[in-house]
A and B are shown apart, each in its own frame.
Chain A
Amino acid sequence: MNTLHEDLKKYLSGLREKKRSSLLPALLKAQELFGYVPEETVDEISRVLRVPPVDIYGVIEFYSLLYSEPTAQTIIRICTSPVCASKGSEKIKKALCEYLGVPEGTPSPDKRFMVESVQCLGMCDHAPSALVGEKTLTKIGSMKIPDLLTAAESKPENKVSGKNPVLSKRCCTGDPENIDEYLDSGGFGGLKFAMTMDEERILEVIKTSGLRGRGGAGFPAGIKGESTAGKREDIIRYVVCNADESEPGSFKDRVLLSTDPFTILEGMLIAAFAIKARKGYIYIRGEYFEQRRIFVSIIESARKRGYLGENIFGTGFSFDVEVRSGAGAYICGEETALFESIEGKRGIPRNKPPFPVTKGLFNQPTEINNVETFGYMTRIMENLAKNGDAKEYKPVSGTKLFCLSGDVVRPGVYEMPFGTKLKDLVFDYGGGIPGGRKPKAIVLGGASGMFVPEAMWDIPLDHEHLEQAGLVMGSGVIMVFDERRDILKIVLEIAEFFKHESCGKCYPCQLGTARQLEILKRIDEGAVEPDDCGKLEDIAYTMTNGSICGLGQTAGSAVMSALQLWPEIFKKEGVSVL
C-alpha cells in the first residue's frame, strides 16, 4: 500500500502541469494503482493540483471508470448495448455473475473479479464483446464462462471495406505505428504542402471541399476552421480531436486510430497550422486502451522526427499534441463536455452560445473535430498537393465511413461514396441477413438515431436525402436486426443507455431519460397504462426541444420512431392495469 502511495506521489510530482487540468489523468493513475481512488489519495491530489477535495469526489462519481470504493483486481465489463445484447451478452453476464457467486457490481469474495455492464465498447462488428481488465475479448458468445476470466486478448480485426477507398486507403497496409512506412507512402505530404500555403487559403479549400463533420452533427468543417482562426497571433487557440467514440454502433474511429493514426495526426497538424494553434489534444475514450497506446507511440515518433514540437521544419510553426483518456462517460463526446473533462471537471455540457470556436477549451477559441474529419483534411491536402493549388480545382470529400453491425453477414467499417443506397450497403456489401432470415429493422445513426421505415431502405445515404426524410447520418451507424429480435427490447436498451449516460444537468433529459425508461420497462412487463404513448410523446418532445445538448435532444428519437412504426408493441398484449 505504501509503495503505491509513493508511486502516486512520484507521478504527481512529475506532472508538468500541476493544475486542475491534470485531474483526470491523476485520478486514472490512482485508479490504476489502487483499483479505486482512496480518500487519502484525493487529499494528496487536491494538495498538488489545488482542486477542492469535494470537487474531486464529484468528478470520481461522474465517471464510470473511476470508483470511490474498493473494486477487484480485474473488472470484467460486458457490453450490453443493442447489438451485443441482441447477441446474448445479458445471458453471458448473468452466467458469469452466477459463476462468481456475486451480483453485478460486487467484487468476488477473493477480490479478484467484478462483473459490470458497460455501454457500447465500440466492438459491434465483433459482438458480443467484453473488456477484461484492459484486455479486449471479442465474440465471447462462443466462449465458456470460466475461460472468459483467463482468456488471452482477442483483438478485433480492424479493416475497412468498400470501393475506391479514399480516407481508408492506408488502413491495414502495414505497421500503423511505423513513421517511415507512413512517410514512404507519401505521409505528411498534405501537411508539407499546406505549410507552403496561406492559412486562409487552406481554410477556403476545406470549405469548398464540402467536408462536413463526421462526429454526428455534420457541421461544415471549413466554416468551423474559419470561425476559430483569427489574425491575432497572441490568442491561444486549440485543436481538439474527438476520439471519444461511444455512440452505440459506432466503431469507425477505433479502426482509423488502430490502422492509420498518422493520417489523423497529420489532419490535426494541418488544422492547427491553418488556425495558428500551438496545442492540440486528442481525447480517446477510456475503454480504447490499445488505441491510446498507439497514439502515444506515434506522437513520440512524430516528435522525434520534428513533425511536432517547436518551430516545425523551421517554419516558425509550433504544435504539440497531448493524448487524453476519457473515463467512461458517453457525454464527454459532446464537445463542451469534453472540454470540461480535459479541464478536470465533471463532463457536463455547457450552454451554447458561446460556441467552441469563440470560447472552447480553457475558454479559448477551439476547433474540435471528429477523428474521421481530421483524417479527411489530410486527404484533401494530399489531393491538393498532387494536383497543385489551382483556383479552379475543386476538392471533394465524397466518401464516408459507415459502421455496419448487427444481423448482417459481413459487419464492419465500410467506406462508401455519399449517395450509396442504404439497402445496397446492407444487403450487397454487408451480405444481407445471415441464415436466410428476414430483416426486421434498421437503425440509422446509433442510439441517438432512428429506425428507418422499410419503405425507405433504398434511401441514398447523404445529408440531403436523409435530412429530407427526417433521418440522420449521425456518425454513420447502421445497425441491422433480423426477424428474431424484439423491437421493444432494443428500444429498452437504447432507453437504458440514455438514462445511464445522461449527465443530469438539465431537467428534460435528467428526468426524461429516467421516466422514459420506467414507462418502457412497465410496458415490457405488460403493465400498460392508457396514456403511456401520450406520456412517451410528451417526454420525447420535452427532451428534444428543451434539453441543453445533443444527448437529451436525441434521447427520445429512437423511441418515437419505433412508436410510429410499430405502435402495437407499446400496447403490448398483456393486460392493462387499469
Chain B
Amino acid sequence: MSTEKITITVDGKKITVPSGVTILQAAESAGITIPTICFHEQLTPPGLCRQCVVEVEGARRLQPSCISSVREGMVVKTDSEKVRRVRRTNLEMLSAVTDLSESPEIVRQMKQLDADEERFAASPRGSLKDDNPFYIRDYTKCILCMRCVQVCSSDIQFSYALAAGGRGFDSRIATFYNKDLPDTTCVFCGNCIQVCPTGALKAKTEGNSTGVQHDEA
C-alpha cells in the first residue's frame, strides 16, 4: 500500500485515503459500513457474495467493494436504491434455500434492507452430516461462502480435505469422493468452524439452535 493519498467521494462525503485501499476499507475509514458476507480479514477475498456491491459513477455495473481499489476522484454510492435492490433480492433468494437461524449478521442485513424472507418459495438445499466425534456439518445452513474451503486448503491449513464440488446451484462443499471426514486428510483443526458465518460448521459441544446438545456418544 503506497503512502500516496487520493480523494474520493463516498455517499456525498469527500474523503482522503491511501491509494491502493479497497472501496470497502475507504468507506470504513469514513465510518460507513458496507455489508459483507463472504469477506473475511484473514482470507483471500473471493468476491462472490456480491453483498458489498456499490455504485461507482461511470461504471456500467455495480462493483464489489471488497476487492475494488479506489481511484482518484471516484464517486461511490454505497446505499443507493440500485444497490439495495440487488442486496435485498440476493438475500431474499438466499433465505429461500438456506437455514439462516444461526446467521445473526445476515438476518441483521435482511432487516436493514427490508427483505422478505418468504418472498421466494422455500427450497432447502444440503443436508446434515454427522460423521466425526468433533463437529457437525449442517449444510442446510451452508451459504457457499467458501471460507471453509479456503481455510482448509491454501489460505491457512494446507490440509486439503475440503473442496467445492458440484456446479451452479448444486455446488456444495465436498470431501474426496464424499467420504466421511475421518477417512479424508482432515486433521480436525476446526479452523473451518472458526470462520463459518452461519453455524453450518459447529462443535458438537455447542448444541444446536434449540439448545439441544448433539449426541456425544
Contacts and interface: CB of A to CB of B under 8 A. Distances in A.
Q: Judge A-B direct contact (beta carbons within 8 Å).
A: yes
Interface of A: 39, 42, 52-55, 57-58, 61-62, 68, 329, 346, 348, 351, 499-508, 510-515, 518, 522, 531, 535, 538-539, 541-542, 544-548, 553
B211 to A, nearest CB: 30
Given A57-B163, A499-B168, A506 B48 contact: yes
Given A541-B86, A542-B89, A507 B51 contact: yes
Given A58-B163, A548-B48, A503 B168 contact: yes
A512 B163 contact: no
Interface residues of B, number: 46
A53 B160 CA distance: 8
Contacts of B85: 538, 541-542
A510 B184 contact: no
Interface in B9-41: none
Contacts of A346: 164, 167
B128 to A, nearest CB: 20
Contact of B61 (A39, A512, A539, A545): A545
Given A504-B144, A504-B167, A504-B169, A511 B160 contact: no
Contacts of B162: 54
Given A61-B174, A351-B47, A508-B50, 17 more contacts: A39-B177, A54-B160, A55-B163, A58-B163, A61-B166, A62-B166, A329-B167, A348-B164, A499-B168, A504-B171, A507-B51, A510-B144, A511-B94, A515-B93, A535-B119, A541-B85, A546-B86
B11 to A, nearest CB: 19
Q: Which 3 pairs show the lowest CB-CB distances between chains A and B?
A: A52-B160, A504-B171, A58-B163
B170 interface: yes
Contacts of B175: 54, 57
Contact of A542 (B86, B167, B185): B86
B49 to A, nearest CB: 5
Interface of B: 46-51, 53, 61-62, 64, 67, 82, 85-86, 88-90, 92-94, 96-97, 119-121, 123, 144, 153, 160-171, 174-177, 184-185
The residue in A62, A504, A506, A507 that gathers the most chain B C-beta atoms within 10 A of its C-beta is A507
Contacts of B165: 57-58, 61-62
B96 A515 contact: yes
Contacts of B86: 508, 541-542, 545-546
B90 A542 contact: yes
Contacts of B90: 507-508, 511, 542, 546
A501 to B, nearest CB: 7
B121 A518 contact: yes
